Homo-oligomer: A and B are copies of this chain.
Amino acid sequence: MPITIEQVSQKTGLSVSTVSKALNDYPDIAPETKERVLQIARELNYQPSAAARNLRRKHTNKIGFILPFAVSYISEYVSGLITGAAMAAEATGYNIVLYTNQSNQHEQLAKICRAREVDGLLLRGTDHVDETFALLDHEEIPFVITGRRVDHPHASYIVPDNFGGSLTLMRHLIDLGHKRIAFTSRPALFETNTDRMAGYLEGLRQADIVIDRDLIIETSVEPHSGYSAMNTLLNLSNPPTALFAIHDLIAIDAMQAAFERGLRVPEDLSIASFDGIQATQITKPPITTARQPITDIGKRAVEMLLKRIADHSTPPMREIVPVQLIVRESTARAQ
């Protein structure tokens, strides 16, 4: 059985309340007493029961993280988020507790909140609905959303600068002399996609390049949808000299398609993409990409959350974090 405060009280000859206050550094305990209590508590290896403390203090020092729906593996993206979150949390005495997203997400969230299992929640923008906000609001559980600019008065969020990142990527390509730049988009489920598309269009506009609808292709969420997209692009009578893929996996597929046509990257075709997953480093050539500082986002997200936990009346926070252009060997001057 673990040591309880009772036993420390016995051994010191002091009351339980005095011991508690000494341990929690209350001002109405004599310094020598504090010292002695600390000493003996250490000797006994006393550590306050988390459960008892949680009950009394009405908080758990835990932050909930909902894993993506139907996980069979978690992406590099999500694990980066978790890493950052776990580090920032632990730095303040908090910990992350993982919940796998069940089919009845609303029920699950409701249970977590009402049981007061955590002090706050980290949500990914892609898996929840408006009714979630109502619940969280009602249960007064602070939360922050990552990866989506959600339009709700009480919602805090943090997102990468999708528009800005795309724009710098486009500038890079344009600076290299490219005029025919293709864009493989994605179904516009969330603003992530529309923002990146907007960056693409703005890049063209600033360079006075007229939009060629043939150069914009929508990919699906299927594994190798970038492959076929690249093929249709290369079948064009006037094919592109550069590709801006909406995310790295698409770029990798596209590069494969280009190779199979006997094209060289970057000599015949420049390829750039977004996100900066590790795989972009090991392709041949390594891919130029706009890297999301994903660990930092996770870290920053819990910092924001912690602020709202500390003071529930803190107004919601919105942050857009800059994205870093990493120029590698998949992009070169247009021939």
Copies of this protein in the assembly total 2
Asked whether any CB of chain B lies closer than 8 Å to the CB of A313, the reply is: no
Q: 8 Å CB contacts to B: which residues of A87-136?
A: 87, 90, 95-100, 102, 110-111, 114-117
A74 close to B (CB within 8 Å): yes
A259 touches B284 (CB 8 A): yes
- Contact partner, A87, options B100, B110, B111, Cβ 8 Å: B100
Which residues, 133 to 148 on A, are CB-close (under 8 Å) to B?
A: 139
* A62, closest chain B residue (CB): B97
Report the minimal beta-carbon distance from A259 to chain B, rounded to whole angstroms.
7
Report the minimum CB–CB distance from A97 to chain B (whole Å).
Answer: 5
- Size class of A's contact patch? 35 or more
In chain A, positions 263-277 with a C-beta closer than 8 Å to chain B are none
Docked pose: A48 CA to B114 CA in angstroms = 8
Q: Give CA–CA (A55, B2) in the complex, Å.
A: 13
Say whether, besides A72-B295, A90-B99, A97-B62, A116 and B282 are in contact (CB < 8 Å): no
Contacts of A114 in B (CB 8 A): 2-3, 45-47
Q: Which residues of B contact A193 (CB under 8 A)?
A: none
In contact, A60 and B71 (Cβ under 8 angstroms): no
Interface presence of A278 (CB below 8 A): yes
Q: Which residues of A contact B (CB under 8 A)?
A: 2-3, 45-52, 54-55, 58, 60, 62, 67, 71-74, 76, 78-80, 82-83, 86-87, 90, 95-100, 102, 110-111, 114-117, 139, 252, 256, 259, 278-279, 282-284, 295
Q: Which 6 A-B pairs have the closest CB atoms?
A: A47-B114, A51-B54, A79-B79, A51-B55, A50-B115, A96-B98
